[in-house]
A and B are shown apart, each in its own frame.
Chain A
Amino acid sequence: MEQQTMYNQPSTAGKFGEFGGRFVPETLMSALHELEETYNSVKSDPDFLAELNDLQKNYNGRETPLTFANRLTDHYGKGKIYLKREDLNHTGAHKMNNTLGQILLAKRLGKTRIIAETGAGQHGVATATVCAKFGLECTVYMGEVDIERQEMNVFRMKMLGAKVVPVTSGSKTLKDATNEAIRDWVTNVENTHYIIGSVVGPHPYPMIVRDFQSIIGEETKTQINNFEGRNPDYIIACVGGGSNAIGIFYPFINNPEVKLIGIEAGGYGIDTDKHCATLTLGRPGVFQGMNTYLLQDKDGQISEVHSISAGLDYPGVGPEHSLLKDLNRVQYSSITDDEALDAALQLSRLEGILPALESSHALAHLKYLMPNTNKDDIVVINLSGRGDKDLNTFINKIKF
Chain B
Amino acid sequence: MSKIKNTIEQINNDGKKALSVFLTSGFPTIDKFLYNTNRIIEAGADLIELGMPFSDPLADGGVIQQSSQIALQNGITQKQTFQFAEQIRKCNNTPLILMGYANTIMQYGKEQFEQDAINAGVDGLIIPDVPLEEFDDFFSSFSDKLDKVLLTTPTSDNDRIITLDNKSTGFLYCVSVSGTTGVRSGFDDKIIENLKSTYQIVNNNKMLVGFGISKPENIKQLSPFADGFIVGSAIIKSLQNESIDETINLIKSLKHACEV
Compute how far the CA of A284 lies from the CA of B102 in the bound complex, rounded to whole angstroms.
12
Q: Interface size class for chain A? A: 35 or more
| Residues of chain A contacted by B157 (CB below 8 angstroms) | 30
Q: Is A58 an interface residue (CB 8 A)?
A: no
Compute how far the CA of A26 lies from the CA of B151 in the bound complex, rounded to whole angstroms.
7
Q: Give, as a whole number of angstroms, the nearest-CB distance from B8 to chain A.
A: 20
| Residues of chain A contacted by B160 (CB below 8 angstroms) | 29-30
Residue of A nearest to B66 (CB): A169
User: Could you tell me if A179 and B131 are in contact, using CB atoms closer than 8 angstroms?
Assistant: no
User: Could you tell me if A179 and B56 are in contact, using CB atoms closer than 8 angstroms?
Assistant: yes
Compute how far the CA of A301 lies from the CA of B73 in the bound complex, rounded to whole angstroms.
12
Contacts A25-B129, A189-B155, A296-B103: A302 and B56 contacting too (C-beta < 8 A)?
Answer: yes
Q: Is A269 an interface residue (CB 8 A)?
A: no
Q: Is B201 an interface residue (CB 8 A)?
A: no
B59, B77, B151: most-surrounded residue (chain A CB, <10 A): B59
User: Could you tell me if B151 and A287 are in contact, using CB atoms closer than 8 angstroms?
Assistant: no
| Residues of chain A contacted by B102 (CB below 8 angstroms) | 23, 286
Chain A 285-322 interface 0/1 with B at a Cβ cutoff of 8 Å (1 = within): 11111000010101111100000000000000000000
User: Could you tell me if A187 and B133 are in contact, using CB atoms closer than 8 angstroms?
Assistant: no
| Residues of chain B contacted by A327 (CB below 8 angstroms) | none
User: Could you tell me if B154 and A301 are in contact, using CB atoms closer than 8 angstroms?
Assistant: no
Q: Interface size class for chain B? A: 35 or more
Q: Is B55 an interface residue (CB 8 A)?
A: yes
Compute how far the CA of A179 lies from the CA of B58 in the bound complex, rounded to whole angstroms.
6
Compute how far the CA of A284 lies from the CA of B130 in the bound complex, rounded to whole angstroms.
16
Q: Is B134 an interface residue (CB 8 A)?
A: yes
| Residues of chain B contacted by A374 (CB below 8 angstroms) | none
Q: Give, as a whole number of angstroms, the nearest-CB distance from B100 to chain A.
A: 10
Q: Give, as a whole number of angstroms, the nearest-CB distance from A329 to chain B.
A: 24
| Residues of chain A contacted by B164 (CB below 8 angstroms) | 26
User: Could you tell me if A300 and B104 are in contact, using CB atoms closer than 8 angstroms?
Assistant: yes
Contact residues of A between 188 and 208, Cβ < 8 Å to B = 188-190
Q: Give, as a whole number of angstroms, the nearest-CB distance from A370 to chain B.
A: 39
User: Could you tell me if B133 and A29 are in contact, using CB atoms closer than 8 angstroms?
Assistant: yes
Q: Give, as a whole number of angstroms, the nearest-CB distance from A15 to chain B.
A: 9
Q: Give, as a whole number of angstroms, the nearest-CB distance from A35 to chain B.
A: 13
Contacts A24-B131, A186-B178: A30 and B156 contacting too (C-beta < 8 A)?
Answer: yes
| Residues of chain A contacted by B69 (CB below 8 angstroms) | 169
Q: Is B152 an interface residue (CB 8 A)?
A: yes
User: Could you tell me if B134 and A21 are in contact, using CB atoms closer than 8 angstroms?
Assistant: yes
Q: Give, as a whole number of angstroms, the nearest-CB distance from A105 to chain B.
A: 19
Q: Give, as a whole number of angstroms, the nearest-CB distance from A398 to chain B.
A: 34
Q: Is B108 an interface residue (CB 8 A)?
A: yes
Q: Is B65 an interface residue (CB 8 A)?
A: yes
User: Could you tell me if B107 and A26 are in contact, using CB atoms closer than 8 angstroms?
Assistant: no
User: Could you tell me if A300 and B106 are in contact, using CB atoms closer than 8 angstroms?
Assistant: yes
Chain A 9-33 interface 0/1 with B at a Cβ cutoff of 8 Å (1 = within): 0000100000001111111111100
Contact residues of A between 175 and 223, Cβ < 8 Å to B = 175, 179, 182-183, 186-190
Set B106, B108, B152, B175: member contacting A286, Cβ < 8 A: B106
User: Could you tell me if A29 and B132 are in contact, using CB atoms closer than 8 angstroms?
Assistant: yes
Chain A 152-190 interface 0/1 with B at a Cβ cutoff of 8 Å (1 = within): 000000000000000001100001000100110011111
Q: Is B38 an interface residue (CB 8 A)?
A: no
User: Could you tell me if A27 and B155 are in contact, using CB atoms closer than 8 angstroms?
Assistant: yes
Contacts A186-B178, A288-B56: A27 and B153 contacting too (C-beta < 8 A)?
Answer: yes
A25, A170, A287: most-surrounded residue (chain B CB, <10 A): A25
Other 15 A-B pairs with CB < 8 A, given A21-B134, A23-B129, A29-B155: A21-B137, A22-B131, A23-B102, A23-B131, A25-B151, A25-B153, A29-B133, A183-B180, A190-B178, A285-B107, A286-B106, A299-B77, A299-B107, A300-B106, A300-B107
Ordered by A's residue number, 9 sampled pairs between the chains whose C-beta atoms are within 8 Å are A22-B131, A23-B129, A23-B130, A24-B58, A26-B128, A26-B164, A170-B56, A285-B107, A299-B107
> A residues near B, CB below 8 A?
13, 21-31, 169-170, 175, 179, 182-183, 186-190, 284-289, 294, 296, 298-302
